[in-house]
């Protein structure tokens, strides 16, 4: 259950109208309506009757509002208790793929946030959870990664969920391996060369509206018989550096990070599959100063390495 959904429903109950609640909350009417429907689905009840004159509470809705009022009051008291003083704490949050250029941008961004009281949140995860984190867990920014052939499916999903999107970059995956790996000595690497090695992977086979089996088959080539799934980037690099039989497909990685782990990065001429990273955020969200600083740093790092 999302606390924002409770706030929206409570304001609609107070005002009796989606439009009045929208004006008070500065949130678009469709977003409030969607949030209430999701809240009703989560609880298994009908909170409002939709009438020509506005939104009317059902008996179940009236009972729910009694609890909602108490919950929101306690949250208000808790915020007052822990925020203290007049200084407002700044928050920044982003959810995105495991990508070295994004991690470097975040690290550089952390150096320029200023002396004000600030909390930063950085969550590495897959595409499906990136969208969920924005819709359900109060993350404000996200970076969505997908293969270019699925562009229509993802953009349709983003539009349906009222998420704004902007292209950050396009790229093809590079091969990453230890300097001691025999593949590192080859002038040109083909798919056949990879067959005898172990792939370190963090597959993200989620594509809206497509069967999972179809996506898995396309994302995971059949000529690799051994894979190790590691979902934390530092552990992936540690594994690559210690086991010369392993390799990883990754977006371009900064040279200083490759040097730190004794790795090399090489292209594969047969790999022409294009990937896209999109910056996403709620359509009704206004970017903050911190958001703009991060986006600026992301662009600088992207231009440097991609």
Q: Domain end: 83, 111, 132, which one?
A: 83
Q: What is the reported pLDDT for 70?
A: 86
Q: Domain end: 48, 68, 83, which one?
A: 83
Number of structural domains (the chain) is 3
CATH number, domain with residue 120: 3.40.190.10
Residue 168 inside a domain? The answer is no
13 and 79, same domain (yes or no): yes
Residue ranges of the chain whose pLDDT lies below 50:
86
264 and 178, same domain (yes or no): yes
Residue 141 inside a domain? The answer is yes
74 and 52, same domain (yes or no): yes
78 and 13, same domain (yes or no): yes
Q: What is the reported pLDDT for 301?
A: 92
Q: What is the reported pLDDT for 159?
A: 94
pTM for this structure?
Answer: 0.66
Q: Phi first, then psi: what are they for 85, rounded to 5°?
A: 60, -170
98 and 243, same domain (yes or no): no
Q: What is the reported pLDDT for 241?
A: 96
76 and 109, same domain (yes or no): no
Q: Domain end: 25, 49, 83, which one?
A: 83
286 and 151, same domain (yes or no): yes
Q: What's the domain range around 290?
A: 90-157+281-305
Residue 167 inside a domain? The answer is no
Residue 166 inside a domain? The answer is no
Q: What is the reported pLDDT for 246?
A: 98
128 and 60, same domain (yes or no): no
């Amino acid at each position: 259950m999302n606390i924002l959904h409770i706030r929206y429903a409570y304001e609609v109950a107070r005002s009796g109208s989606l439009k009045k609640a929208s004006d008070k909350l500065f949130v678009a009417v469709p977003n409030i309506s969607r949030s209430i429907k999701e809240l009703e689905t989560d609880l298994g009840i009908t909170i409002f009757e939709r009438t020509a004159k506005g939104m009317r509470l059902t008996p179940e809705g009236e009972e729910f509002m009694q609890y909602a009022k108490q919950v929101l009051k306690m949250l208000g008291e808790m915020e007052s208790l822990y925020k203290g003083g007049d200084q407002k704490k700044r928050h920044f949050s982003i959810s995105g793929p495991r990508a070295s250029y994004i991690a470097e941008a975040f690290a550089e961004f952390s150096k320029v946030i200023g002396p004000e009281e600030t909390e930063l949140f950085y969550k590495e995860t897959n595409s499906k959870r990136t969208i969920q984190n924005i819709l359900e867990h109060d993350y404000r920014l996200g970076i969505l990664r997908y293969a270019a052939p699925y562009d229509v499916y993802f953009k349709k999903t983003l539009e349906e969920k009222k998420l704004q999107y902007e292209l950050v970059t396009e790229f093809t995956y590079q091969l990453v391996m230890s300097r001691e790996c025999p593949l590192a000595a080859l002038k040109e690497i083909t798919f056949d060369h990879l067959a005898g090695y172990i792939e370190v992977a963090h597959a993200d086979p989620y594509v809206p509206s497509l069967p999972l089996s179809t996506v898995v088959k396309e994302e995971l080539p059949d000529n690799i018989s051994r894979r190790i799934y590691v979902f934390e980037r530092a552990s992936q690099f540690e594994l690559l550096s210690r086991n010369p039989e392993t390799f990883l497909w990754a977006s371009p990685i900064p040279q200083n990070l490759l040097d730190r782990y004794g790795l090399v990065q090489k292209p594969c001429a047969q790999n022409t599959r294009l990937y896209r990273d999109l910056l996403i955020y709620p359509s009704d969200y206004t970017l903050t100063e911190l958001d703009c600083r991060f986006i600026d740093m992301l662009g600088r790092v992207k231009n440097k390495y991609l």
